[in-house]
């Protein structure tokens, strides 16, 4: 999968993309991450990328020109499955959507800043909008990093068997059951007997019950979906 990220602050991604799972996925050539600084595409003398909102009001709006030129350049080079815009004013991202997006070949992710991008970019180029939660971040970069992380770990070959995504919370629509490791007894706090029994069928049943129980208490809304 190739992921092109369009941003005014490419440095924000340094730490996230050069560590751990995302680093390994790139080393194994499972993903290619490309960061593009929107400002580099501004044809303006001052390299400006934003301007006042028509109609007034606080906050600047990201201009069409540099974003359009950058998207057009990328689209000439290859076909994209999705051109995504990160914004708090849309539906919230979830695991099901992560599963689906993980099957893409090429995606573009546009990170908004200030008051966001000129609506005409959204109307004419963006194929999908993603919010990571009902709160406002300073820009779309952290949200884009969250989406990239949640998608890339689902691509076959990225995670090892021990860290398989199949048993994650949300993967089957439920929260995960509790997990324990050694010691079996820590100052009297004992691990549930069943997990030490060696009976894999019983363990599986226990985990399913606990997952359902936790979901009912903490996130009953997940069971209504
Ligand atoms: N940009 C600012 N806040 C955001 C959010 N919650 N999700 C996605 N992009 C954003």
The domain limits of the chain are 2-152, 169-224
Pick the CATH number of 169-224 from 3.30.70.260, 1.10.3720.10, 1.10.1270.20, 3.40.50.300: 1.10.1270.20
Gap from CA of 94 to ligand 1 centroid (Å): 14
- The pLDDT score that the predictor gives to residue 162 is 60
Cis peptide before 219 (omega within 30 of 0): no
Gap from CA of 208 to ligand 1 centroid (Å): 33
Mind listing the pLDDT tens digit for each residue in 75-95? 999 999 999 999 999 999 999
66 pocket-lining for ligand 1 (C-beta < 6 Å): no
Gap from CA of 133 to ligand 1 centroid (Å): 7
Nearest-CA residue for ligand 1 atom 9 is: 87
- Collapsing DSSP to helix, strand or coil, 70 comes out as helix
Q: Specify which residues 106 forms β-bridges with.
A: 2
- The pLDDT score that the predictor gives to residue 121 is 98
Q: Could you tell me the mean pLDDT of each successive run of 10 residues in the chain, 225 residues long? A: 98 95 96 98 97 96 98 98 97 97 98 94 98 97 98 94 75 92 98 97 97 97 90
42 pocket-lining for ligand 1 (C-beta < 6 Å): no
In angstroms, rounded to a whole number, what is the distance separating the alpha carbons of residues 147 and 98? 7
Mind listing the pLDDT tens digit for each residue in 124-141? 999 999 999 999 999 999
Characterize the bridge pairing of strands 60-62 and 50-52: antiparallel
What are the φ/ψ torsions at residue 128 (nearest 5 degrees)? -160, 140
Using the structure block, give the residue that is written with the tokens 């820009």. Answer: 139
Contact status, residue 16 vs residue 109, Cβ threshold 8 Å: no
- Collapsing DSSP to helix, strand or coil, 168 comes out as coil
Gap from CA of 113 to ligand 1 centroid (Å): 9
Nearest-CA residue for ligand 1 atom 6 is: 88
- The pLDDT score that the predictor gives to residue 225 is 77
- Collapsing DSSP to helix, strand or coil, 122 comes out as helix
Nearest-CA residue for ligand 1 atom 2 is: 137
Task: Give CATH superfamily name and number for 2-152.
Answer: SPOUT methyltransferase, trefoil knot domain (3.40.1280.10)
DSSP at 154: T
Gap from CA of 162 to ligand 1 centroid (Å): 32
- The pLDDT score that the predictor gives to residue 168 is 83
189 pocket-lining for ligand 1 (C-beta < 6 Å): no
């Amino acid at each position: 999968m190739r992921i092109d990220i369009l941003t005014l602050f490419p440095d924000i991604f340094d730490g996230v993309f050069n560590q751990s799972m995302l680093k390994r996925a790139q080393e194994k050539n499972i993903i290619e991450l490309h960061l593009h600084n929107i400002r580099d595409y501004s044809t303006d003398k001052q390299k400006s990328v934003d301007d006042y909102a028509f109609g007034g009001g606080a906050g600047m709006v990201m201009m069409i020109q540099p974003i359009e030129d950058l998207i057009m350049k990328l689209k000439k080079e290859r076909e994209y499955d999705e051109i995504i815009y990160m914004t708090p004013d849309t539906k919230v991202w979830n695991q099901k959507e992560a599963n689906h997006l993980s099957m893409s070949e090429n995606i573009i992710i546009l990170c908004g800043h200030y008051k966001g991008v000129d609506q005409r970019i959204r109307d004419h180029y963006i194929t999908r909008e993603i919010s990571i939660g009902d709160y406002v971040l300073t820009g779309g970069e952290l949200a884009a990093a969250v989406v990239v992380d949640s998608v890339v770990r689902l691509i076959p070959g990225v995670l090892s068997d021990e860290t398989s995504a199949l048993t994650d919370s949300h993967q089957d629509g439920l929260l995960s059951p509790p997990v324990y490791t050694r010691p079996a007894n820590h100052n009297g706090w004992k691990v549930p007997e069943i997990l030490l029994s060696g009976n894999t069928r019983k363990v599986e049943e226990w985990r399913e019950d606990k997952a359902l129980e936790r979901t009912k208490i903490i996130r009953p809304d997940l069971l209504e979906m």
